[in-house]
């Protein structure tokens, strides 16, 4: 039988990843744009200005080299001895610090072919042809220095001036590969972020993080007067027999905390003075974001509400609860935010003695 704890942990991980992909979808989109659009565009533009020209060098007499398998390796050694590089540098008037091979010329030495291909690269078609021909001529001279053990070589085909830039980068495959890589990288970043953040996504997780029960779950809708769950919060606060309610929370909950305080104040202000049976209605004084002295001197008739936004970092909630929880006189309100809830902080007026704010 499977371990239910492990099963729950796997479920929490998938829930966190799903929430993270919704919350941080812009990260995935950003990596897709960078890797699937910007990078291909840069590579395509850089390759659009490059021309390639090819010259061929091959034997004109019977080869005397005993092992033809060694010919490509011998050709690469001769091509890299410095003579070709010096010739191309003089031809193109390059600085001594500029790299010639493979930026301006390169050698293709196939294993099953006796003909060497010298490729010249240039920003102009003429520069590419000049580089290839200069390299091929010098390469032939260097090969013929070893005429006795190898044979005689000559330029069999000079490089012609190319008529169009080299298609070194194919646009569509690069874009498709970039988009796929962007998705993988973006999801990886979100996964790592969720592993570090460990968001609080349920009342159970919020209660476990703070070490106190959850009083209620509240949904704060942007631009709406309706606050689902607020009536439950007010009802339970009125039955706590608390004269003062401190409303606090992690720094990330500042906007939600102040909105909740404003809604509580409006509800308490609208309560009748007496119930239909004549019993007086008393409601607690709300203190928003209490100071350290206020918390240190709170009496037995005080109650503390810790506002935890859905998705808050687990570590932030744990650290905040360590400094604000009094067993039996503290509870959590889990706040669910709708999209775009990060608005300007509500400015309350007329709070007076009911709402105390930190200056």
Report the run of H or E that residue 295 belongs to, with start and end: helix 292-296
- Residue 280: the pLDDT is 74
Note the residue count of the chain: 359
CA distance 114 to 81: 20
Q: What are the pLDDT tens digits along the chain (359 aa)?
A: 344 344 445 457 788 888 888 889 999 999 999 998 888 877 766 665 789 999 999 999 888 777 778 888 889 999 999 999 999 999 999 998 999 999 999 999 988 788 999 999 998 999 999 999 999 999 999 999 887 777 889 999 999 999 888 765 567 788 888 899 999 999 999 999 998 889 988 899 999 999 999 988 988 887 777 888 888 888 888 887 788 999 999 988 898 899 898 888 888 888 877 767 767 777 888 899 988 888 888 888 889 999 999 988 999 999 999 988 888 888 999 998 775 434 433 333 333 333 344 43
Best CA proximity match to 223, nearest among 250, 189, 259: 259
- Residue 160: the pLDDT is 94
CA distance 158 to 145: 21
Best CA proximity match to 340, nearest among 258, 255, 265: 255
Helix, strand, coil tally for the chain in percent (to 5): 45, 20, 35
CA distance 57 to 39: 37
- 306-to-37, 197, 232, 298, 323 alpha-carbon distances in Å: 45, 19, 15, 15, 11
Q: Where are the beta strands (DSSP E) in the chain?
A: 51-59, 105-108, 116-122, 153-157, 214-220, 244-248, 285-288, 302-309, 330-337, 355-356
Q: How many CB atoms lie within 10 A of CB 26?
A: 9
Q: DSSP characters for 82-105?
A: SHHHHHHHHHHT--TTS--TTTTE
- Residue 8: the pLDDT is 43
CA distance 40 to 324: 53
Q: Residue 242: is it exposed, middle or buried by C-beta count within 10 angstroms (0-12/13-18/19+)? A: buried
* pTM score of the predicted model: 0.57
Our measurement of the distance from residue 217's CA atom to the centroid of its chain's CA atoms, rounded to an integer in Å, reads 31
> Contact 206/212 with Cβ under 8 angstroms?
no
- 80-to-100, 135, 141, 143, 261 alpha-carbon distances in Å: 10, 11, 13, 12, 77
CA distance 236 to 303: 11
């Amino acid at each position: 039988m499977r371990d239910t704890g492990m099963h729950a942990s796997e479920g929490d991980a998938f829930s966190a990843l799903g929430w993270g992909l919704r919350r941080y979808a812009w990260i995935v989109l950003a990596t897709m744009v960078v890797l699937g659009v910007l990078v291909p565009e840069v590579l395509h533009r850089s390759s659009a200005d490059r021309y390639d020209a090819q010259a061929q060098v091959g034997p004109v007499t019977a080869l005397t080299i005993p092992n033809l398998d060694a010919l490509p390796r011998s050709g690469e050694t001769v091509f890299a001895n410095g003579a070709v590089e010096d010739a191309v540098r003089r031809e193109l008037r390059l600085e001594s610090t500029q790299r010639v091979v493979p930026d301006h010329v390169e050698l293709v030495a196939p294993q099953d072919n006796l003909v060497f291909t010298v490729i010249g690269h240039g920003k102009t078609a003429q520069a590419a042809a000049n580089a290839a021909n200069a390299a091929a001529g010098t390469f032939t001279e260097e090969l013929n220095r070893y005429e006795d053990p190898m044979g005689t070589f000559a330029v069999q085909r000079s490089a012609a001036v190319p008529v169009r830039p080299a298609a070194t980068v194919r646009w569509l495959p690069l874009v498709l590969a970039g988009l796929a890589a962007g998705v993988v990288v973006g999801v990886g970043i979100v996964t790592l972020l969720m592993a570090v953040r460990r968001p609080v996504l349920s009342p159970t997780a919020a209660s476990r993080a703070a070490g106190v029960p959850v009083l209620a779950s509240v949904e704060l809708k942007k631009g709406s007067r309706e606050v689902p769950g607020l009536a439950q919060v007010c009802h339970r606060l009125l039955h706590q027999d608390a004269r003062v309610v401190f409303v606090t929370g992690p720094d990330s909950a500042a906007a939600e905390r102040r909105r909740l305080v404003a809604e509580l104040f409006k509800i308490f202000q609208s309560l009748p003075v007496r119930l239909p049976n004549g019993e007086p209605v008393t409601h607690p004084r709300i203190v928003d974001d209490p100071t350290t002295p206020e918390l240190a001197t709170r009496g037995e008739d005080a109650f503390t509400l810790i506002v935890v936004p859905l998705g808050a970092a687990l570590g932030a909630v744990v650290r905040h609860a360590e400094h604000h929880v009094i067993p039996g006189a503290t509870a959590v309100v889990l706040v669910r935010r709708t999209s775009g809830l990060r608005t300007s902080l509500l400015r309350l007026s007329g709070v007076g003695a009911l709402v105390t704010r930190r200056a």
